[in-house]
Amino acid sequence: MTITVEVTKEHYIAAIMAASYADGNPDPQSWLQGVIDAACRSYESQYKVNFIPLAQVMTRLTAMGKLETILTAAQNNEQLGQYWLLVQRAGGIWSGSDDSIAGTAALVAVGMLTQEEADALLAYPTPVYTTPINS
Protein backbone atom coordinates (compact mmCIF):
# COMPACT_ATOMS: atom_id res chain seq x y z
CA MET A 1 0.00 0.00 0.00
CA THR A 2 1.19 3.50 -0.81
CA ILE A 3 -0.34 6.73 0.37
CA THR A 4 0.36 9.73 -1.83
CA VAL A 5 -0.03 13.24 -0.48
CA GLU A 6 -0.57 16.21 -2.73
CA VAL A 7 -0.16 19.74 -1.42
CA THR A 8 -2.32 22.07 -3.49
CA LYS A 9 -2.67 25.29 -1.48
CA GLU A 10 -0.15 27.80 -2.69
CA HIS A 11 0.49 29.23 0.76
CA TYR A 12 1.24 25.71 2.07
CA ILE A 13 3.68 25.15 -0.79
CA ALA A 14 5.34 28.48 -0.02
CA ALA A 15 5.59 27.56 3.67
CA ILE A 16 7.12 24.16 2.84
CA MET A 17 9.66 25.77 0.54
CA ALA A 18 10.55 28.43 3.13
CA ALA A 19 10.96 25.85 5.90
CA SER A 20 12.99 23.58 3.65
CA TYR A 21 15.42 26.34 2.71
CA ALA A 22 15.58 27.59 6.31
CA ASP A 23 16.62 24.07 7.38
CA GLY A 24 19.33 24.08 4.72
CA ASN A 25 17.60 21.58 2.43
CA PRO A 26 17.26 22.89 -1.12
CA ASP A 27 14.85 20.06 -2.01
CA PRO A 28 11.40 20.84 -0.52
CA GLN A 29 10.03 17.44 -1.52
CA SER A 30 12.70 15.49 0.38
CA TRP A 31 12.36 17.90 3.32
CA LEU A 32 8.59 17.31 3.43
CA GLN A 33 9.12 13.55 3.20
CA GLY A 34 11.34 13.81 6.29
CA VAL A 35 8.63 15.73 8.14
CA ILE A 36 6.03 13.14 7.18
CA ASP A 37 8.36 10.28 8.18
CA ALA A 38 8.91 11.89 11.60
CA ALA A 39 5.17 12.28 12.11
CA CYS A 40 4.58 8.68 11.08
CA ARG A 41 7.23 7.43 13.54
CA SER A 42 5.38 9.31 16.25
CA TYR A 43 2.06 7.73 15.25
CA GLU A 44 3.68 4.30 15.02
CA SER A 45 4.70 4.58 18.66
CA GLN A 46 1.45 6.19 19.81
CA TYR A 47 -0.77 3.54 18.23
CA LYS A 48 1.68 0.63 18.73
CA VAL A 49 1.74 -0.18 15.04
CA ASN A 50 4.33 -2.91 14.39
CA PHE A 51 4.29 -3.90 18.06
CA ILE A 52 4.03 -7.62 18.77
CA PRO A 53 3.08 -8.26 22.43
CA LEU A 54 5.21 -10.65 24.49
CA ALA A 55 2.42 -13.25 24.63
CA GLN A 56 2.29 -13.29 20.82
CA VAL A 57 6.10 -13.56 20.58
CA MET A 58 6.00 -16.55 22.93
CA THR A 59 3.10 -18.11 21.01
CA ARG A 60 5.00 -17.76 17.74
CA LEU A 61 8.18 -19.24 19.21
CA THR A 62 6.20 -22.10 20.78
CA ALA A 63 4.53 -22.86 17.43
CA MET A 64 8.01 -23.02 15.87
CA GLY A 65 9.16 -25.36 18.64
CA LYS A 66 11.87 -22.86 19.62
CA LEU A 67 10.71 -21.20 22.84
CA GLU A 68 12.37 -23.53 25.39
CA THR A 69 15.63 -23.64 23.44
CA ILE A 70 15.79 -19.86 23.21
CA LEU A 71 14.92 -19.34 26.89
CA THR A 72 17.66 -21.80 27.89
CA ALA A 73 20.16 -20.12 25.59
CA ALA A 74 19.23 -16.70 26.97
CA GLN A 75 20.29 -17.92 30.41
CA ASN A 76 23.68 -19.09 29.11
CA ASN A 77 24.54 -16.54 26.40
CA GLU A 78 25.00 -12.94 27.54
CA GLN A 79 24.07 -11.36 24.20
CA LEU A 80 20.91 -13.46 23.80
CA GLY A 81 20.08 -12.84 27.45
CA GLN A 82 20.29 -9.08 26.91
CA TYR A 83 17.99 -9.25 23.90
CA TRP A 84 15.46 -11.39 25.78
CA LEU A 85 15.57 -8.92 28.69
CA LEU A 86 14.81 -6.08 26.26
CA VAL A 87 11.82 -8.03 24.92
CA GLN A 88 10.52 -8.66 28.43
CA ARG A 89 10.98 -5.05 29.57
CA ALA A 90 9.26 -3.71 26.45
CA GLY A 91 6.43 -6.20 26.83
CA GLY A 92 7.02 -7.41 23.28
CA ILE A 93 8.91 -6.47 20.14
CA TRP A 94 8.71 -3.67 17.61
CA SER A 95 8.98 -5.61 14.38
CA GLY A 96 11.01 -2.98 12.53
CA SER A 97 13.27 -1.85 15.37
CA ASP A 98 17.04 -2.17 15.23
CA ASP A 99 17.02 -4.20 18.48
CA SER A 100 14.41 -6.65 17.18
CA ILE A 101 16.25 -7.11 13.91
CA ALA A 102 19.59 -7.54 15.70
CA GLY A 103 18.07 -9.97 18.21
CA THR A 104 16.58 -12.21 15.56
CA ALA A 105 19.80 -11.96 13.53
CA ALA A 106 21.69 -13.19 16.60
CA LEU A 107 19.32 -16.16 16.85
CA VAL A 108 19.86 -16.91 13.17
CA ALA A 109 23.64 -16.56 13.55
CA VAL A 110 23.77 -19.22 16.29
CA GLY A 111 21.41 -21.51 14.38
CA MET A 112 18.41 -21.22 16.72
CA LEU A 113 16.19 -19.76 14.02
CA THR A 114 16.28 -19.92 10.25
CA GLN A 115 15.96 -16.63 8.41
CA GLU A 116 12.43 -17.65 7.41
CA GLU A 117 11.54 -18.23 11.07
CA ALA A 118 13.06 -14.87 12.05
CA ASP A 119 11.00 -13.18 9.34
CA ALA A 120 7.86 -14.95 10.57
CA LEU A 121 8.59 -13.91 14.16
CA LEU A 122 8.86 -10.26 13.13
CA ALA A 123 5.93 -10.33 10.70
CA TYR A 124 3.31 -7.71 11.41
CA PRO A 125 0.21 -7.63 9.24
CA THR A 126 -0.58 -4.08 8.22
CA PRO A 127 -4.05 -3.32 9.51
CA VAL A 128 -6.54 -1.51 7.33
CA TYR A 129 -8.65 0.87 9.39
CA THR A 130 -12.06 1.75 8.08
CA THR A 131 -13.14 3.58 11.23
CA PRO A 132 -11.19 5.92 13.50
CA ILE A 133 -8.89 4.05 15.89
CA ASN A 134 -10.18 5.87 18.97
CA SER A 135 -13.87 5.38 18.19
Q: How confident is the model at residue 1 (pLDDT cuts 50, 70, 90)?
A: low
Does residue 76 lie in a domain region? Answer: yes
pLDDT one-digit tens code per residue, 6-43: 899 999 999 999 999 999 999 999 999 999 988 988 88
Torsional class of 21: left (φ above 0), alpha (ψ -120 to 50), beta (otherwise): alpha
4 pLDDT exceeds 80?
yes
In terms of residue numbers, what domain contains 116?
51-122
Please tell me whether residues 79 and 17 are part of one structural domain.
no
Its pTM stands at: 0.66
Does residue 117 lie in a domain region? Answer: yes
Give the model's pLDDT for residue 17: 92
Please tell me whether residues 97 and 62 are part of one structural domain.
yes
Does residue 131 lie in a domain region? Answer: no
Is the CB of residue 54 less than 8 Å from the CB of residue 87?
yes
Please tell me whether residues 75 and 88 are part of one structural domain.
yes
pLDDT one-digit tens code per residue, 39-96: 988 887 787 778 899 999 999 999 999 999 999 999 998 988 998 998 999 999 988 8
